[in-house]
Amino acid sequence: MPTPPAISPPPAPPTSRRSFIGEYLRSPGQIGAVAPSSSALARRMLQDVDIAGAGLVLEYGPGTGAFTSELLSRVSPQTTVIAIELSPRFADVLRAKHPTLPVRQRSVADVESVLREEGLPDRESVDVIVSGLPWASFPEQLQVQCLSAALRVLRPGGVFVTFGYQLSSVLPAAKRFARSLPSYFADVSRSEIVWRNFPPAFVLRCQKAKQPG
CA dist., res. 89 & res. 87, Å (int): 5
Is residue 121 a part of any domain in this protein? yes
Give the per-residue pLDDT at 14: 45
Residue 181 falls within a domain, yes or no?
yes
Task: Give the number of domains in the chain.
Answer: 1
The domain that contains 58 carries what CATH number? 3.40.50.150
User: Does residue 2 belong to any structural domain of this protein?
Assistant: no
Q: What is the pLDDT of residues 153-210, one digit of tens each?
A: 999 999 999 999 998 888 898 999 999 999 999 999 999 999 999 999 999 999 999 9
Asked if residue 19 belongs to a domain, the reply is no
pTM of the model: 0.84
Q: Which domain holds residue 144?
A: 27-207
DSSP, residue by residue, 200-211: -EEEEEEE--SS
Low-confidence ranges of the chain (pLDDT < 50): 1-32, 34
Q: Look at residue 13 and tell me if it is in a domain.
A: no
The rounded distance, in Å, linking the Cα atoms of 66 and 87 is: 15
